[in-house]
Amino acid sequence: MSGFIYSAILQWKLDFRNKGILLAYYIIPLIFYLVMGSVFSTINPLSQQTLIQSMTIFSISMGAFFGTPDPLLELFASESKKAYKVANVPLWAMLATNFISALVHMCIVSVIIYISAPIIFKANLPTNPLSYFLALLLFITISILIGILIGITAKKISTMTMLSQLVFLPSLLLSGIMFPSNMLPSFFVKVSKVFPATHSMKILTASDGITLSLIIPLIAIGVVVIGALALIYQKALKD
Protein backbone atom coordinates (compact mmCIF):
# COMPACT_ATOMS: atom_id res chain seq x y z
CA MET A 1 0.00 0.00 0.00
CA SER A 2 2.85 2.38 0.85
CA GLY A 3 4.36 1.73 -2.58
CA PHE A 4 1.07 2.55 -4.27
CA ILE A 5 0.71 5.80 -2.30
CA TYR A 6 4.29 6.73 -3.19
CA SER A 7 3.54 6.07 -6.89
CA ALA A 8 0.44 8.27 -6.76
CA ILE A 9 2.38 11.12 -5.15
CA LEU A 10 5.20 10.68 -7.65
CA GLN A 11 2.75 10.80 -10.57
CA TRP A 12 1.21 13.98 -9.14
CA LYS A 13 4.65 15.61 -8.95
CA LEU A 14 5.61 14.43 -12.43
CA ASP A 15 2.49 16.07 -13.83
CA PHE A 16 3.86 19.46 -12.78
CA ARG A 17 6.95 18.83 -14.91
CA ASN A 18 4.86 18.07 -18.00
CA LYS A 19 4.07 21.36 -19.72
CA GLY A 20 1.20 19.85 -21.72
CA ILE A 21 -0.50 18.48 -18.62
CA LEU A 22 0.12 21.70 -16.69
CA LEU A 23 -1.53 23.68 -19.49
CA ALA A 24 -4.57 21.39 -19.57
CA TYR A 25 -5.06 21.16 -15.79
CA TYR A 26 -4.31 24.69 -14.68
CA ILE A 27 -3.12 27.38 -17.08
CA ILE A 28 -5.72 27.25 -19.88
CA PRO A 29 -8.75 26.56 -17.60
CA LEU A 30 -7.86 29.34 -15.16
CA ILE A 31 -7.10 31.87 -17.91
CA PHE A 32 -10.39 30.98 -19.59
CA TYR A 33 -12.15 31.32 -16.24
CA LEU A 34 -10.72 34.79 -15.62
CA VAL A 35 -11.45 36.05 -19.14
CA MET A 36 -14.91 34.56 -19.59
CA GLY A 37 -15.87 35.28 -16.00
CA SER A 38 -15.17 38.94 -16.64
CA VAL A 39 -17.07 38.89 -19.94
CA PHE A 40 -20.10 37.03 -18.59
CA SER A 41 -20.41 39.11 -15.43
CA THR A 42 -20.18 42.33 -17.46
CA ILE A 43 -22.55 41.45 -20.30
CA ASN A 44 -25.10 39.51 -18.27
CA PRO A 45 -25.11 39.98 -14.48
CA LEU A 46 -27.50 37.00 -14.19
CA SER A 47 -24.61 34.75 -15.22
CA GLN A 48 -23.17 35.31 -11.74
CA GLN A 49 -25.75 32.82 -10.49
CA THR A 50 -24.13 29.93 -12.37
CA LEU A 51 -20.62 31.24 -13.01
CA ILE A 52 -18.94 28.92 -10.50
CA GLN A 53 -20.69 25.86 -11.91
CA SER A 54 -20.09 26.64 -15.58
CA MET A 55 -16.42 27.57 -15.20
CA THR A 56 -15.76 24.54 -13.00
CA ILE A 57 -17.34 22.19 -15.53
CA PHE A 58 -15.23 23.75 -18.29
CA SER A 59 -12.04 23.36 -16.24
CA ILE A 60 -12.78 19.74 -15.33
CA SER A 61 -13.62 18.84 -18.93
CA MET A 62 -10.45 20.50 -20.19
CA GLY A 63 -8.23 18.73 -17.70
CA ALA A 64 -9.88 15.33 -17.99
CA PHE A 65 -10.04 15.13 -21.78
CA PHE A 66 -6.69 16.73 -22.62
CA GLY A 67 -4.53 16.29 -19.52
CA THR A 68 -5.45 12.84 -18.20
CA PRO A 69 -4.82 10.85 -21.44
CA ASP A 70 -1.32 12.23 -21.98
CA PRO A 71 0.74 10.07 -19.58
CA LEU A 72 -1.34 7.00 -20.45
CA LEU A 73 -0.61 7.43 -24.16
CA GLU A 74 3.10 7.48 -23.33
CA LEU A 75 2.66 4.22 -21.41
CA PHE A 76 0.30 2.16 -23.58
CA ALA A 77 1.60 3.28 -26.98
CA SER A 78 5.28 2.73 -26.21
CA GLU A 79 7.69 0.04 -25.10
CA SER A 80 7.21 1.15 -21.49
CA LYS A 81 4.23 -1.19 -21.24
CA LYS A 82 6.45 -4.19 -21.89
CA ALA A 83 8.90 -3.03 -19.23
CA TYR A 84 6.11 -2.93 -16.65
CA LYS A 85 5.02 -6.43 -17.64
CA VAL A 86 8.58 -7.76 -17.29
CA ALA A 87 8.84 -6.16 -13.85
CA ASN A 88 5.47 -7.69 -12.87
CA VAL A 89 4.00 -4.26 -12.25
CA PRO A 90 0.25 -4.38 -13.00
CA LEU A 91 -0.87 -1.82 -15.53
CA TRP A 92 -4.04 -1.17 -13.56
CA ALA A 93 -1.84 0.34 -10.87
CA MET A 94 -0.65 2.93 -13.37
CA LEU A 95 -4.24 3.72 -14.29
CA ALA A 96 -5.11 4.09 -10.61
CA THR A 97 -2.20 6.42 -9.83
CA ASN A 98 -3.05 8.53 -12.87
CA PHE A 99 -6.67 8.66 -11.72
CA ILE A 100 -5.74 9.79 -8.21
CA SER A 101 -3.29 12.39 -9.52
CA ALA A 102 -5.89 13.82 -11.91
CA LEU A 103 -8.51 13.85 -9.16
CA VAL A 104 -6.26 15.92 -6.89
CA HIS A 105 -5.43 18.38 -9.67
CA MET A 106 -9.07 18.91 -10.56
CA CYS A 107 -10.16 19.29 -6.95
CA ILE A 108 -7.54 22.00 -6.53
CA VAL A 109 -8.78 23.90 -9.60
CA SER A 110 -12.40 23.51 -8.49
CA VAL A 111 -11.63 24.93 -5.05
CA ILE A 112 -9.72 27.85 -6.59
CA ILE A 113 -12.76 28.76 -8.69
CA TYR A 114 -15.18 28.20 -5.80
CA ILE A 115 -13.25 30.52 -3.50
CA SER A 116 -12.19 33.22 -5.96
CA ALA A 117 -15.33 33.66 -8.09
CA PRO A 118 -17.40 35.35 -5.35
CA ILE A 119 -14.47 37.69 -4.61
CA ILE A 120 -13.50 38.57 -8.20
CA PHE A 121 -16.85 38.41 -10.00
CA LYS A 122 -19.34 38.52 -7.11
CA ALA A 123 -20.62 35.12 -8.22
CA ASN A 124 -23.29 33.37 -6.18
CA LEU A 125 -22.17 30.41 -4.10
CA PRO A 126 -24.17 27.15 -4.47
CA THR A 127 -27.12 27.01 -2.07
CA ASN A 128 -26.16 23.56 -0.81
CA PRO A 129 -22.33 23.20 -0.66
CA LEU A 130 -22.42 19.55 0.46
CA SER A 131 -24.64 18.47 -2.46
CA TYR A 132 -22.57 20.62 -4.79
CA PHE A 133 -19.26 19.00 -3.91
CA LEU A 134 -20.69 15.47 -3.88
CA ALA A 135 -22.14 15.96 -7.36
CA LEU A 136 -18.91 17.62 -8.49
CA LEU A 137 -16.88 14.66 -7.23
CA LEU A 138 -19.07 12.30 -9.26
CA PHE A 139 -18.65 14.46 -12.37
CA ILE A 140 -14.88 14.63 -11.90
CA THR A 141 -14.69 10.84 -11.48
CA ILE A 142 -16.65 10.14 -14.67
CA SER A 143 -14.71 12.75 -16.64
CA ILE A 144 -11.37 11.28 -15.56
CA LEU A 145 -12.54 7.79 -16.54
CA ILE A 146 -13.39 9.12 -19.99
CA GLY A 147 -9.93 10.68 -20.15
CA ILE A 148 -8.35 7.35 -19.19
CA LEU A 149 -10.42 5.63 -21.86
CA ILE A 150 -9.09 8.08 -24.45
CA GLY A 151 -5.54 7.56 -23.21
CA ILE A 152 -5.53 3.77 -23.55
CA THR A 153 -7.49 3.80 -26.82
CA ALA A 154 -5.34 6.24 -28.77
CA LYS A 155 -2.14 4.93 -30.35
CA LYS A 156 -0.63 8.30 -31.24
CA ILE A 157 -0.91 11.96 -30.25
CA SER A 158 -2.99 12.98 -33.27
CA THR A 159 -5.58 10.31 -32.49
CA MET A 160 -5.68 11.31 -28.83
CA THR A 161 -6.20 14.97 -29.75
CA MET A 162 -9.02 14.09 -32.14
CA LEU A 163 -10.80 11.90 -29.59
CA SER A 164 -10.39 14.54 -26.88
CA GLN A 165 -11.88 17.22 -29.11
CA LEU A 166 -14.79 14.96 -30.08
CA VAL A 167 -15.77 14.80 -26.42
CA PHE A 168 -14.68 18.24 -25.24
CA LEU A 169 -16.22 20.50 -27.90
CA PRO A 170 -19.79 19.11 -27.64
CA SER A 171 -19.44 19.19 -23.85
CA LEU A 172 -18.55 22.87 -24.11
CA LEU A 173 -21.18 23.88 -26.66
CA LEU A 174 -24.16 21.67 -25.83
CA SER A 175 -24.11 21.31 -22.05
CA GLY A 176 -25.43 24.78 -21.18
CA ILE A 177 -22.24 26.17 -19.67
CA MET A 178 -21.79 28.77 -22.42
CA PHE A 179 -25.45 29.57 -23.07
CA PRO A 180 -28.81 28.10 -21.95
CA SER A 181 -29.37 24.65 -23.44
CA ASN A 182 -33.02 25.51 -24.19
CA MET A 183 -31.72 27.72 -26.99
CA LEU A 184 -30.50 24.64 -28.87
CA PRO A 185 -32.51 22.80 -31.57
CA SER A 186 -34.27 19.71 -30.25
CA PHE A 187 -31.84 17.40 -32.06
CA PHE A 188 -28.82 18.87 -30.27
CA VAL A 189 -30.68 18.78 -26.96
CA LYS A 190 -30.99 15.01 -27.39
CA VAL A 191 -27.33 14.68 -28.41
CA SER A 192 -26.22 16.71 -25.38
CA LYS A 193 -27.61 14.05 -23.03
CA VAL A 194 -24.76 11.74 -24.01
CA PHE A 195 -22.21 14.01 -22.31
CA PRO A 196 -21.75 14.09 -18.50
CA ALA A 197 -21.25 17.88 -18.55
CA THR A 198 -24.91 18.36 -19.52
CA HIS A 199 -26.28 16.43 -16.56
CA SER A 200 -23.68 17.87 -14.19
CA MET A 201 -24.68 21.41 -15.11
CA LYS A 202 -28.29 20.59 -14.23
CA ILE A 203 -27.30 18.98 -10.92
CA LEU A 204 -24.84 21.66 -9.84
CA THR A 205 -27.28 24.48 -10.56
CA ALA A 206 -30.37 22.77 -9.10
CA SER A 207 -31.80 24.68 -6.16
CA ASP A 208 -32.83 21.48 -4.35
CA GLY A 209 -29.44 19.79 -4.80
CA ILE A 210 -28.99 16.16 -5.79
CA THR A 211 -32.12 14.31 -6.82
CA LEU A 212 -32.48 10.78 -8.13
CA SER A 213 -33.94 11.88 -11.47
CA LEU A 214 -30.94 14.14 -12.10
CA ILE A 215 -28.23 11.77 -10.97
CA ILE A 216 -29.36 8.53 -12.67
CA PRO A 217 -28.36 9.64 -16.22
CA LEU A 218 -24.91 10.64 -14.95
CA ILE A 219 -24.44 7.31 -13.20
CA ALA A 220 -25.60 5.47 -16.34
CA ILE A 221 -22.93 7.26 -18.38
CA GLY A 222 -20.36 6.25 -15.77
CA VAL A 223 -21.39 2.59 -15.96
CA VAL A 224 -21.07 2.60 -19.77
CA VAL A 225 -17.63 4.24 -19.57
CA ILE A 226 -16.41 1.72 -16.98
CA GLY A 227 -17.65 -1.16 -19.16
CA ALA A 228 -15.87 0.20 -22.24
CA LEU A 229 -12.75 0.85 -20.19
CA ALA A 230 -12.69 -2.74 -18.91
CA LEU A 231 -13.00 -4.15 -22.44
CA ILE A 232 -10.30 -1.94 -23.95
CA TYR A 233 -7.99 -2.53 -20.98
CA GLN A 234 -8.23 -6.29 -21.46
CA LYS A 235 -7.43 -5.82 -25.14
CA ALA A 236 -4.47 -3.61 -24.29
CA LEU A 237 -3.05 -6.33 -22.02
CA LYS A 238 -2.94 -8.75 -24.97
CA ASP A 239 -1.18 -6.36 -27.34
The predicted model gives 183-196 an average pLDDT of 85
Average pLDDT of the residues of the chain: 84
φ/ψ of 127, rounded to 5, equals -70, -30
194: Cα separation from own chain's centroid: 15
Per-residue confidence (pLDDT) for residue 233, from 0 to 100: 79
Helix ranges, the chain (H):
2-17, 19-22, 28-43, 51-62, 69-76, 80-86, 91-120, 129-153, 157-174, 186-192, 196-205, 212-238
Q: Which residue has the higher pLDDT, 28 or 16?
A: 28
Q: Distance between CA 177 and CA 200 in Å, rounded?
A: 10
The predicted model gives 179-196 an average pLDDT of 82
Instruction: State the DSSP code for 46.
Output: G
Per-residue CA distances from 113 to 13, 31, 57, 109, 141 (Å): 22, 11, 11, 6, 18
The pLDDT tens digits for 78-102 are: 655 555 555 566 677 778 888 988 9
Residues contacting residue 140 through CB under 8 Å, at least 6 positions apart: 60, 64, 103, 106, 107, 110
Q: Which residue has the higher pLDDT, 128 or 179?
A: 128
Position 211: which residue type?
A: T
pTM of the model: 0.89
Q: Which of 9-23, 123-137, 148-162, 205-219 is least confident?
A: 9-23
Per-residue confidence (pLDDT) for residue 166, from 0 to 100: 92
Q: For a pLDDT cut of 70, what percent of the chain falls above it?
A: 85
Per-residue CA distances from 186 to 23, 54, 62, 181 (Å): 35, 22, 26, 10
Question: Taking the CB of residue 194, how many other CB atoms lie within 10 A of it?
Answer: 15
Per-residue confidence (pLDDT) for residue 37, from 0 to 100: 87
Q: For a pLDDT cut of 90, what percent of the chain falls above it?
A: 35
